[in-house]
């Protein structure tokens, strides 16, 4: 059985990043370069998110959670545009997935039935890298 985090990383985070990138460019008038810097990716990656070549998951679009998911994405994009931390914002997406029932839908989509994997709250660790200088 896959762990809940594996399902979220595979099915949710790419979709969330793509939808947030599109929101930031379309509704918050950020450039693709600005969004790329915020996400720590290339502007080409942001371009692919916006064109739908990356990100997207028809499971979400076909689910009963679609409207709530994209409302949460719009709110998340607004928070990021107002300076909120991207990592914390994506952690909130994960929390939404676990609390809304979308995680259960992911398990069903993957063909699992019966008892589902246990999902623990992620410990929030700050990782400090040595200074490169």
Is 114 contained in some domain? no
Strand, helix or coil at 47?
A: helix
The pLDDT tens digits for 77-96 are 999 999 999 988 998 898 89
Quick one: tokens of 102? 């979308």
Is 17 contained in some domain? yes
Is 124 contained in some domain? no
Q: Domain range for residue 65?
A: 4-109
Query: Residue 128: is its pLDDT beyond 90?
Result: no
Is 130 contained in some domain? no
Contact status, residue 103 vs residue 4, Cβ threshold 8 Å = yes
Query: Residue 60: is its pLDDT beyond 90?
Result: no
Distance CA 52, CA 54 (A): 5
The pLDDT tens digits for 28-52 are 999 999 999 999 999 999 999 888 8
């Amino acid at each position: 059985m896959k762990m809940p985090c594996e399902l979220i990383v595979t099915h949710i985070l790419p979709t969330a990043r793509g939808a947030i990138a599109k929101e930031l460019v379309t509704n918050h008038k950020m450039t693709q370069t600005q969004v790329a810097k915020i996400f720590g990716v290339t502007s080409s990656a942001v371009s692919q998110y916006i064109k739908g070549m990356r990100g997207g998951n028809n499971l979400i679009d076909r689910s009963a959670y679609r409207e709530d998911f994209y409302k949460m994405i719009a709110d998340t994009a607004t928070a990021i545009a107002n300076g909120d931390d991207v990592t914390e914002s994506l952690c909130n997406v994960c929390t939404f997935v676990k609390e809304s029932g979308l995680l259960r839908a992911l398990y069903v989509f993957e063909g699992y039935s019966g008892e589902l994997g246990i999902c623990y709250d992620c410990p929030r660790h700050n990782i400090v890298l040595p200074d490169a200088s």
